[in-house]
A and B are shown apart, each in its own frame.
Chain A
Amino acid sequence: MSTVIYILWLRQLKRYFRSKSRIIGSLGQPLLFLLALGYGFGPIFEKAGQGSYIQFLAPGIVAMSIIFTSLFSGIEIIWDKQFGFLKETLVAPVSRLSIMIGRTLGGATVGTMQGVIVLLISFIVGFRPISWILIIPAVLIMAIIALLFTALGTAIASRLEDMQGFQLIMNFLVMPLFFLSGALFPLKQMPATLLFVAKMDPLSYGVDALHYFLTGQGALGIHYDFLVLVVVTGTLLFIGSYLFSKIEI
C-alpha cells in the first residue's frame, strides 16, 4: 500500500514542477496582492493605528496561495476523470482509499510548498516574522490548511462531471472563503454579523493560526484554531474518501 501511495504522491509533485506556467501563474497573484494591497492600503492602515499592513497581510496571502493551489490539486480529479488517467488507476488492483490518500497527500504537499514559497516572497517584500523558530509550527498549520482544501477539492471533483462547474466553485466558494477569512482585514473590530460569518469559515482559523505564529497577533485563540482545523480537515477527508469511492466511470 505504501509504495502505491508514494507513486501517486510523486506523480502529483512531478506534475506540479513540470507545469512551469502553473507555478509562475500561482506566484504572480500573491505577489500582486502583496505589492498592490500591501503598499496601497499600508498608509491608511498605519494611520488607523494598526501598524504595518504588510506585517498583517502576508500570512493571509500565504493562506490564499495555499487554498488556491490545494483546491486545484483536488479538482484535478475531474481532469483525470475526463481524460482517462483516472481509469488507469481505478482499474488497477489497489484500493480506492490508497489512491485517495496518495493523491491528497500529493496535493497537500504541493499546496504547502506553494505556501512556503509565498512566505519567502513576502520576506523580500518586507515581511518579518516575530520569531524564526515559530516558522516551524506555522508550516505545520500551512500543511493542515493544504490538506483541508485538497480534501475539499477531491470531494467536489468526485461529484462534478466536467470543468464547467469549476468557475462556479471559484466564485461562490473559494473567493468568499478567502475574503471572509480575515486574511485582508483584522477580525477584531469587525461588525458582529461579519464576525459571525467569518467564524463559519474554516479558513479564518487557518489564517488566525498563521497570524499567531508569524506575527503574534492571534484573535481567536491558537488552541481553538488548531482544534477547528483538525476537526474540519478530518471530516472533509472522510467525506472526500467516501465520495471518491463512489465515482463511476
Chain B
Amino acid sequence: MKKTSDADYAIRVSNLTKKFGSFVAVDNISFSVEKGKIFAFLGPNGAGKTTTIKMLTTLLNPTSGVMSVNGFDPVRNEGDTRKSFGIVFQDPSLDDELTAYENLEFHGVLYRVPKKILKKKIDELLKFIELWDRRNDLVKHFSGGMKRRLEIARGLIHEPQILFLDEPTLGLDPQTRNHIWGYIKNLNSRKKITVFFTTHYMEEADRIAENIAVIDHGKIVATGSPSELKKRTRKKSLEDAFLKLTGRRIREEEATGADRMRMGRRVWHR
C-alpha cells in the first residue's frame, strides 16, 4: 500500500459524535475519504448517514469530534468549507417556479461565480446533463430524473472539489439511474472530483464505489472496497454482505413534518 499524507484526503473524520437529547445519532465515528475517489456511505434507515452528511456540510454542528473537508474545518470555517463542496440533497431542492436556467443562475450568484464565467459554465453544464433544450422551461414540468440531473449540474457550478450525493437515484427507473451514474463517473474521471454518496441500492454501490463505509446505529461497522467487504463476510453480493453486517431487522422511522407535507402535497396534486 502506498503511504498517504493529510493532503491526499478530501474528508477526514475522527471521533465524530452527534447527540439529539439522549439519542445518539452518530456515535464516535472515524473514517477518511481519499481525494479523487468515489466513496459510498451505506447504512439502513436511521443509521446516521444523513446526520453525518449534515455535519460535513456545515448544516449541523457536532456534539464532539473533529472533521476536515478539503482541508477546512466545517465548524470553524463555514464559508470556505461551503465553497469547496457541491451537494445534492435527498429531497429535491429546486425552485419549481423558476426555469432550469434560473435555478442554476441563482446558485451561481449565491456562490459568487463571476458573471461572465457563470453564463459559460451554465451553458456547458446544461449541455453536459442534456437539458440544454429545456433550459427555459419551468422546473415544475420536469420529471424526477430531469430534476436530479439539474441538481447535479447545480452542485457543480462553483467547481467544487467534492460532490455529496444523498441517495441521488432514489425513486428513479433503471435507465435514468444508469444515466446519472454515467455522468457522475464521467465527472470523477475527467475532473478528479471526489464523490461521496449514500444509496440503498447495493448493486449501485458495488458497481460505482471504490471504497465503502457501512454505518449502523450510529457506528461504523465496516470499511473497505466492495470486494473486500464481500470477502470478509464470505458473501457473493454486496447486498448479502450488507445484510450480514447490519442484520435483517426492518428499521422503523417516525414521519417528520417533511414527510407529512410531502404526503399532503401528493394528495393535492393528483
Contacts and interface: CB of A to CB of B under 8 A. Distances in A.
Contacts of A4: 109-110, 112
Interface residues of B, number: 36
A129 to B, nearest CB: 35
Contact of B93 (A84, A94, A163, A248): A84
B98 A11 contact: yes
A82 B258 contact: yes
Interface stretch (B54-62, B190-198, B213-221, B236-244): B54-62
B79 interface: yes
Contacts, number: 80
A94 B110 contact: yes
B206 interface: no
Interface size class, chain A: 20 to 34
Interface string B227-263: 0000000000000000000000000000001101110
A11 B96 CA distance: 11
Contact of B97 (A3, A6, A18): A18
B257 A93 contact: no
Given A85-B93, A85-B94, A163 B111 contact: no
A15 to B, nearest CB: 5
Given A88-B107, A93-B82, A93-B83, A162 B257 contact: yes
Contacts of A91: 57-59, 82, 87
B248 to A, nearest CB: 32
Nearest to B80: A93
A3 B109 contact: yes
24 contacts: A6-B109, A7-B106, A11-B98, A11-B106, A14-B97, A15-B97, A82-B258, A82-B262, A83-B92, A83-B93, A83-B96, A83-B265, A84-B93, A87-B93, A88-B93, A88-B94, A88-B154, A91-B59, A91-B82, A93-B83, A93-B110, A93-B112, A162-B260, A162-B261
Given A82-B262, A83-B261, A88-B94, 14 more contacts: A14-B98, A83-B93, A85-B94, A88-B107, A90-B59, A91-B87, A92-B82, A92-B107, A92-B110, A93-B83, A93-B111, A162-B258, A163-B264, A249-B59
Interface of A: 3-4, 6-7, 11, 14-15, 18-19, 82-94, 161-164, 248-249
Interface of B: 57-60, 78-80, 82-83, 87, 89, 91-98, 102, 105-107, 109-112, 138, 154, 257-258, 260-262, 264-265
